[in-house]
């Protein structure tokens, strides 16, 4: 029986939804992340846990030489197909974020968008990102977040929706881990997006066991108010830029 806590189980089943997902393909955090990194033609970049490759494609459009890494084969294949459709080139490798298959100081840019909450060990991912970045290389991350008091509830509801969700971090936790990984010039930006609860649930079927449990959880009176406004679920995001 497939392990529900393995991200490969969830993303192999839903990979096509992420190719066409408006949020993943065009969400405001995508432009903001890439603009903050200011990629230059000829720079070497790697997009970790690339998913359908939307971030990688944006880097390639700026002239970067982009490698993509993911543990789900179906997602790598989708990213390569999208690249071909856009007449762009990506180099794909199947590997976990905690063991990147690259030499020390071999990249100018490392990105990771909307994926770190699935990682087994975020600290190890940051250590690996620092290892493969050249001195002065740039790291760019976007992920879900919440206040220190709200994070436990967020992690609970996200794991009901998708059992492969591991742990989202509060901003202070991110900052501490980045410092411990020897990153500097750290810039953190917080944003929020109002989402219909059913849109938040996608691509999970609202009538599935996971869908029903997750929707019931967000309708509980104990849900933190920071995540709700006028009947909408508030998706809180953290954007991070840092230098190695």
User: Which element (helix H / strand E) includes 65?
Assistant: strand 65-70
Q: Residue 132: which of 95, 94, 103 has the closest Cα?
A: 103
**Reported pTM:** 0.95
For the segment 84-101, the average pLDDT, to the nearest whole number, is: 98
pLDDT 10s digits, 52-84: 999 999 999 999 999 999 999 999 999 999 999
- Alpha-carbon 75 to chain mean position: 13
pLDDT 10s digits, 147-188: 999 999 999 999 999 999 999 999 999 999 999 999 999 999
In 3-state terms the chain splits into helix, strand, coil percentages (rounded to 5) of 40, 25, 35
The whole-angstrom separation of Cα 58 and Cα 140 is 13
Burial of 12: CB neighbours in 10 Å, binned 0-12, 13-18, 19+: middle
Q: Cis before residue 158, ω within 30 degrees of 0?
A: no
Q: Residue holding tokens 């971030």?
A: 55
pLDDT value for 13: 81
Domain boundaries in the chain? Answer: 7-194+237-243
Res. 4: pLDDT tops 80: no
Res. 14: pLDDT tops 70: yes
Q: Residue holding tokens 């393909």?
A: 25
Which CATH fold would you assign to the domain 7-194+237-243? Rossmann fold (3.40.50)
DSSP state, residue 204: S
DSSP state, residue 158: H
Phi, psi of 26 (to 5 degrees): -140, 10
Give the dihedral sign, CA 52/55/56/60.
Answer: positive
Cβ neighbour number for residue 22 with a 10 Å cutoff: 8
Cβ neighbour number for residue 57 with a 10 Å cutoff: 22
């Amino acid at each position: 029986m497939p392990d529900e806590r393995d991200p490969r189980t969830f993303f192999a089943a839903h990979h096509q939804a992420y190719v066409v997902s408006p949020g993943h393909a065009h969400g405001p955090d995508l432009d903001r992340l890439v603009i903050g990194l200011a990629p230059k033609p000829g720079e070497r970049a790697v997009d970790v846990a690339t998913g359908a490759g939307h971030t990688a494609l944006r880097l390639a459009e700026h002239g970067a030489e982009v490698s993509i890494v993911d543990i789900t084969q179906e997602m790598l294949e989708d990213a390569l197909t999208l690249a071909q459709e856009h007449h762009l080139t990506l180099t794909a490798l199947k590997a976990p974020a905690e063991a990147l298959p690259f030499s020390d100081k071999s990249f100018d840019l490392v990105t990771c968008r909307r994926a770190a909450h699935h990682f087994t060990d975020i600290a190890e991912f940051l250590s690996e990102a620092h290892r493969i970045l050249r001195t002065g290389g740039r790291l760019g991350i976007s992920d879900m977040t919440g206040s220190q008091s709200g994070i436990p509830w967020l992690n609970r509801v996200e794991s009901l929706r998708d059992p492969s969700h591991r742990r989202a971090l509060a901003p202070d936790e991110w900052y501490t881990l980045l410092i411990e990984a020897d990153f500097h010039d750290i810039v953190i930006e917080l944003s929020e997006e109002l989402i219909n609860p059913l849109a938040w649930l996608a691509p999970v079927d609202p009538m599935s066991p996971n869908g029903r449990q997750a929707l019931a959880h967000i309708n509980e009176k104990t849900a933190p108010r920071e995540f709700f406004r006028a009947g909408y679920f508030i998706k809180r995001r953290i954007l991070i830029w840092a230098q190695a």
